[in-house]
Amino acid sequence: MALPSLKLLQVLALATVTSLSTTVLAQPGNSGRRGGGFTSTMSAGGMDPDYMLRDLQRFQVALELSDEQTLLVEQFLRDYDESFREASDASRDSVGNSFSSMRGNEDSPEQQRTDELRARSRELREKLDSANSLGDEEGMKELQAKLQSEMESIRDEMREARTEQWQSPERQSAFEDVALLLQDQLRLKRKMRIEFESDLVVILSEDQQLLWPPLERQIIRDRLLPRGRLSGETIDVMSFVDQQEYTDETLITLLPVLEEWDISVTPALTARDEHMIENQGSLMTAMRTMDMTSGLDVMKAQARHAENVRDISGTAIENIVLLLSPEDGEVFNAFAKERSYPRIYRPTRTDRAYKAAMELEGLEEDILQAINELYAALQDEMIYANQRILEATHRWESQEQLDRMGRFAERMTGGSSERAASPIQEAEEGKRVIEDNYLEQLRMLLTEEQIEALGGLKKREARGEGNQRGAGGGGREGGRGGFEGGREEFMKRFDADGDGTISESERNAIRDHFRNGGGNSGGGQGSGGGGRP
């Protein structure tokens, strides 16, 4: 059956634009980066051009430009590039000078006071470390208390000095200058974009003008997607599909979802960008006056825009998976998750250890079977653990970013606040506990030589625990779910009939044992806070 010609043209147009987009997004500086630092947020992308000379090929192919039109567009791009570069360089230098003036003179009394307080703090910290190392020796408790009290006094002085510097007339004036400079740059950037696009549309034929809106949306996505600051916010769904090399028939099946994503995510990105541009002055004023309420209100609204972009792309991926065959859907889902949330779904050290163990030479068949069973159980646990991290990320990532801004503002005004517990980190730690458990079970199945061939399979220390996980926590004896005596104890425990091999019923016992946490320590996934409730 012949493919509908209009649909096929749409598919090919999407594939052309997407492949060009993939090339652009693969340029150094965009990959693996979410958003930017303080200056990037405050400038709302004002220093980044909307168009570049390298876009010429994209215009030429997607709009089917003639040679004469190509020359005109090239000149438009060169004029835009030259004017924008000149303006942005001047703005960047001026903003840099203003930020430099905020830091003040190194010889100023204020800076000398700050340096003196830092030196005193380091000296007290060294004395306190020495006192702590002496433990319970006579007089150490009193000395520790005295040093702690002096440390608190210095912290109070440093907070007071920081507040005075932040609220100084010089710094307030510099902030006002920066706000005006960035607002001017944003207005100029918008004006230059409108002028370029107006010049471009004028030279297009009626048929070419029909090709411009989808290309314009793609350019907007390429410009704004990399500015995302949330996990899963920067993904390009069309690029994901393009990388699968699906047939035209499959692309036609997916076309409604891609079109829906195209017309939904682009205005969402534009709204996110416009909100920051429109509120950039208010945000700079809030930062200057340390008005936490108004500043956080702006950023909360910005976070909602960001979550909307992320959720639109997430919904598109879910719908694509539903339209594909079960096999292709599973592959695409795994591909999309790993690239959308690499911190969650990229292969883990424990996963690599199990795969390497399965390739060990001379591995006995019954031990290989036990490793396979254990690896299957690990994968089941990781599905749950990863989903828990994903849910926590969706629920709390924006709020944690806002909390960091709030703590920064409080420090600048002389206050202080305790960092709230992070549900995301708690979920990540739960996954880490599960991995350590399964890594220990793998060690119990291998000889010392095999363990050495895999690099030792030592556990990673959890945040803040240092060496407090307990003696032998990473060794063959003890540990979560471990067997004292190694493989001999393992065979004694599971080789019920004593024939030196593991039967099917004995393998079932191994599977149940490991999936329940296993071991003589009474541990298990649930006891470490990382397993199923």
Question: Cα–Cα distance between 454 and 203 in angstroms, integer?
Answer: 64
pLDDT value of residue 74: 95
Q: What Cα–Cα distance (Å) separates residue 34 from each residue in 274, 297, 317, 396?
A: 19, 22, 20, 17
CA dihedral 180, 186, 190, 196 (to 10 degrees): 110
Return d(Cα 241, Cα 237) in angstroms, integer.
Answer: 6
Residues with Cβ within 8 Å of 124's Cβ and at least 6 positions away in sequence, in order, are 147, 150, 151, 154
Cβ atoms 309, 265 nearer than 8 A: yes
Place of tokens 């210095």: 154
The residue count for the chain: 533
Alpha-carbon distance of 447 to 454, in angstroms, equals 11
The letter for the amino acid at 450 is Q
Check: CB of residue 533 under 8 Å from CB of residue 520: no
Taking the C-alpha atoms of residue 42 and residue 46, their distance in angstroms, rounded to an integer, is 9
Q: Is 471 left (phi over 0), alpha (psi -120 to 50) or beta?
A: beta
DSSP category for residue 348: P
Q: How far apart are the first and last CA of the chain?
A: 53
pLDDT number for residue 113: 76
DSSP secondary-structure letter at 204?
A: S
Looking at residue 215, its pLDDT comes to 92
Cβ density class 486-510: b for 16+ within 10 Å, e for less: bbebbbebbeeeeeeebeeebbeeb
DSSP 75-87: HHHHHHHHHHHHH
Short-list 11, 62, 82, CA closest to 200:
62
> Alpha carbon 480 to chain centroid distance?
30
Q: In this structure, are residues 398 and 499 in contact, taking their beta carbons and an 8 Å threshold?
A: no
Buried b (16+ CB within 10 A) or exposed e, 519-532: bebebbbeebebbe
**Residues ≥6 apart with Cβ < 8 Å to 369:** 502, 507
DSSP 54: G
User: Coil, strand, or helix at residue 213?
Assistant: helix
The closest alpha carbon to 465, from 441, 492, 415, 429, belongs to 429
Half-sphere exposure of 523 (CA within 13 A, CB side): 22
Q: How far is Cα 399 from Cα 418, in angstroms, rounded to an integer? A: 15
Per-residue confidence (pLDDT) for residue 421, from 0 to 100: 84
Could you tell me which residues come within 8 angstroms of residue 249 by beta carbon, excluding any fewer than 6 positions away?
3
- Which residues fall within 8 angstroms of residue 35, CB to CB, at 6 or more apart? 41, 227, 228, 229
pLDDT of residue 457: 75
- Which residue is associated with the tokens 């992308």? 45
Residues of the chain with pLDDT under 70: 1-45, 99, 101-108, 110-111, 135-139, 162-168, 287-292, 408-418, 459-491, 500-504, 506-508, 510-533
